[in-house]
Chains A and B, each alone.
Chain A
Amino acid sequence: MSFSPARCVILACGNTLREDDGVGPWLAQWAAARFHAAPDLRILSRQQWTPELAEDAVRAESVIFIDCSAESAPGELTLAPVAPADGSPGLATHHLDAAQLLSLGSQLYNSLPRTALLFTVGAGSMELREGFSDAVQAALPDACRLLEQTVLQMLG
């Protein structure tokens, strides 16, 4: 089986049982419903980003990583370019961040996407429960609009 790259890839990360940590998978699900007929878009949602995703990330024309952020203010949306990480990610083979995935994929497959963006939503709470904090819940409509615009740009 030869790998078939997608033009645009959404790579979401998070755990829906850890409150706002689940915002990545939630947005991925939303995007899957919104763009269900788009053949050029591949949406992958995982609890952790692992090395097996590197090929999807670097062989696409564009990749949008979606995650929550513990550093941003609760509900704050950030969309920024992400570049391959310098140096080695160390011993963590079960989870990588977006920059590490790009770095690994670049080494393995000698390829990088033309556009790589990291879209984060600031987390207010990551307790052991489903659903979102008030701040993230309030940010979801804007998050969906921003994701929609970004995907349309990538596919345009």
Chain B
Amino acid sequence: MSQTITIDPVTRLEGHGKITIQLNGQGGVEDAHFHVTQVRGFERFAQGRPFYEMPSLMARICGICPVSHLIASAKACEAIMSVRIPHTAAQLRRMLNLAQMVQSHALSFFYLASPDLLLGMESDPASRHIFGVVSAKPELGRAGIALRRFGQHIIELLGDKRIHPGWVVPGGVTEPLSPAKRDEILAMIPEAYANVKLALAAYKQIADSFKPEIEVFANFPSLFMGLINEDESVEFTDGTLRLIDAKGNIVDDGITASRFTEVIGEAVEAYSYTKFAYYKPLGYPEGSYRVGPLARLNIAKTMGTPLADKELAEFKQLAEGPVQGSFYYHHARLVDMLYGIEKIEQILSDPLILDTHVRATAGVNRLEGAGQAEAPRGTLMHNYKVDENGLITWANLVIATGQNNNAMNKGVLQAARHYIKDGKFSEGILNRIEAVVRTFDPCLSCSTHAFGQMPLDVTLISADGEIVDRVMR
């Protein structure tokens, strides 16, 4: 008799999804899927809009990482305009993108993941959330909140709004940086360093106690993709994409936004509204790959900043070649944050950072354009086609969560098969299966949030429809 376990909704994620686990007659796991149950219609309703509206429109997809959408979208528009933006504008955008990464990673690590990491996978679900962390480890609660504020405040200083700033436009940014704002950001940096170092120390202290989870949390060989500079340092805003295999060999390199769709395809599965990206030459699903913090650290030879480089060297000791365990996304996220703070400090010391030439202007000079950037969760690509009047005729977005989709599904199956035996499961086991998805920090649709509290209701139903078991919180 086959049975299905459903985890709906999966909690502590950005957006709404569910997990189903199919059991066979012996109570073992036959299959498992992570379903994204929201529909995104942005590509469709952008049609007919002027291309220069796209950054503002597309940013509305997400309340957590709108900046990445702004940047990828503006870059796609600049390809249509055939302009190269001023150096200062590029540096200011880079700083904005890093600030967003820091605040988004702080949300992921402290608010969403740390309840599992610091309180334990089996801890009381009634207090397994950020407020439980605050009670148990107030210094880490304060650090997490302060890092989120750090990133949010930089975004607000630069773009005038914490969410959906209109400052990034096709051609650059609307306003230069003032000396007062530069000094205000610089004044925040020492505290940000202290907070991320505290988090790194706390993570390293507890990481070894999660060895069983590390073994089965989406831990398998795969391809990895991320942006990189010519000097092989990590990059979030410019650079080109590199794809490596599970042994670290370069599979493809120098992938520009205009080449993205030549090499990356998107497959569709009936159980999810999110597509499944893959590397075309290897086909689907063999060409599936991972993006995001883990991929970035696996690909980069250097972070390009001294403190993060020390952390990268330590991270690379975790495995010979690329680190495969997705649990290490958490670790990589903290290294990303440290890098982000250092890089922001570096950018602010650029002698041209206060320059007032921050925007290029042009009309339609090409009928298609693509732009790419690293969002906190991984590579993001926007591709638009326009008519001679600059009205959008076609748009496609490839988001990080879609690029991690196959790995998330494989990871859920791997963990479910490991933990569920004889059809038996506990709340702690189901939490671990949810926690596999949390390692990727997927953003299913950050622009819409749940109203009220998100419950967990897991029902085990037999093939004849009888409720066999139920766990609720």
**B12 and A91 within 8 A (CB):** yes
A107 contact set on B, CB distance < 8 A? 131, 134-135, 138, 141
A66-95 residues with Cβ-Cβ distance < 8 A to B are 88-95
21 contacts between A and B (CB under 8 A): A2-B191, A51-B111, A51-B145, A52-B152, A88-B129, A88-B131, A88-B135, A90-B453, A91-B12, A91-B129, A91-B453, A91-B454, A92-B450, A93-B12, A93-B129, A95-B449, A104-B134, A107-B138, A108-B134, A108-B141, A108-B142
Within 8 Å by CB of B449, from A51, A91, A94, A108, lies: A94
Within 8 Å by CB of B188, from A1, A47, A52, A104, lies: A1
CA distance A104 to B129 in the complex (A): 13
A121 CB within 8 Å of chain B: no
Within 8 Å by CB of B111, from A1, A93, A95, A108, lies: A93
CA distance A71 to B272 in the complex (A): 38
B102-132 residues with Cβ-Cβ distance < 8 A to A are 107, 111-112, 126-127, 129-132
**A54 and B126 within 8 A (CB):** no
Known: A88-B131, A90-B129, A92-B452. A108 touches B138 (CB 8 A): yes
User: Top 10 closest A-B pairs, CB basis?
Assistant: A1-B188, A93-B111, A1-B187, A88-B131, A52-B149, A90-B453, A93-B130, A91-B453, A91-B129, A94-B449
A20 CB within 8 Å of chain B: no
Summarize B's interface: helix, strand, loop or mixed. helix
A55 CB within 8 Å of chain B: yes
B242 contact set on A, CB distance < 8 A? none
B88 CB within 8 Å of chain A: no
CA distance A89 to B127 in the complex (A): 9
B187 contact set on A, CB distance < 8 A? 1
**B126 and A88 within 8 A (CB):** yes
**B148 and A104 within 8 A (CB):** no
Choose among A54, A92, A107 the residue with the greatest number of B CB atoms under 10 Å from its CB. A92
Q: How far is the CB of A21 from chain B (nearest CB, A)?
A: 12
CA distance A1 to B153 in the complex (A): 12
CA distance A109 to B452 in the complex (A): 26
Within 8 Å by CB of A51, from B130, B132, B138, lies: B130
Interface of A toward B, CB cutoff 8 Å: 1-2, 47-48, 51-52, 54-55, 88-95, 104, 107-109
**B132 and A91 within 8 A (CB):** no
Q: Which residue of A lies closest to B127 (CB)?
A: A88
CA distance A147 to B33 in the complex (A): 52
CA distance A90 to B450 in the complex (A): 13
CA distance A48 to B12 in the complex (A): 17
Given contacts A1-B184, A93-B111, A108-B142, 13 further A-B contacts (CB under 8 A): A51-B130, A88-B129, A88-B131, A90-B453, A91-B11, A92-B454, A93-B112, A94-B449, A104-B131, A107-B135, A108-B134, A108-B141, A108-B145
B142 contact set on A, CB distance < 8 A? 108-109
A104 contact set on B, CB distance < 8 A? 131, 134
CA distance A2 to B149 in the complex (A): 12
CA distance A52 to B156 in the complex (A): 14
Q: How far is the CB of B56 from chain A (nearest CB, A)?
A: 15
Q: How far is the CB of A57 from chain B (nearest CB, A)?
A: 12
CA distance A116 to B39 in the complex (A): 41
A91 contact set on B, CB distance < 8 A? 11-12, 129, 453-454
CA distance A109 to B190 in the complex (A): 20
Provide the B5-29 mask, 1 if CB < 8 A to any CB of A, else 0.
0000001100000000000000000
Q: How far is the CB of B447 from chain A (nearest CB, A)?
A: 11
B132 contact set on A, CB distance < 8 A? 88
CA distance A117 to B148 in the complex (A): 26
A47 contact set on B, CB distance < 8 A? 163
Within 8 Å by CB of B145, from A54, A92, A95, lies: A54
Q: Which residue of A lies closest to B128 (CB)?
A: A91
CA distance A88 to B449 in the complex (A): 20
Provide the B442-460 mask, 1 if CB < 8 A to any CB of A, else 0.
0000000110111000000
Q: Which residue of A lies closest to B456 (CB)?
A: A91
Q: Which residue of A lies closest to B191 (CB)?
A: A1
Q: Which residue of B lies closest to A56 (CB)?
A: B149
Q: How far is the CB of A39 from chain B (nearest CB, A)?
A: 17
Q: Which residue of B lies closest to A47 (CB)?
A: B163
B138 contact set on A, CB distance < 8 A? 107-108
Choose among A2, A47, A88, A109 the residue with the greatest number of B CB atoms under 10 Å from its CB. A88
CA distance A104 to B130 in the complex (A): 10
CA distance A142 to B416 in the complex (A): 59
Q: How far is the CB of B214 from chain A (nearest CB, A)?
A: 25
CA distance A52 to B129 in the complex (A): 15
**B453 and A92 within 8 A (CB):** yes
CA distance A89 to B449 in the complex (A): 17
CA distance A93 to B127 in the complex (A): 12
B141 contact set on A, CB distance < 8 A? 107-108
B139-198 residues with Cβ-Cβ distance < 8 A to A are 141-142, 145, 148-149, 152, 163, 184, 187-188, 190-191
Q: Which residue of A lies closest to B192 (CB)?
A: A1
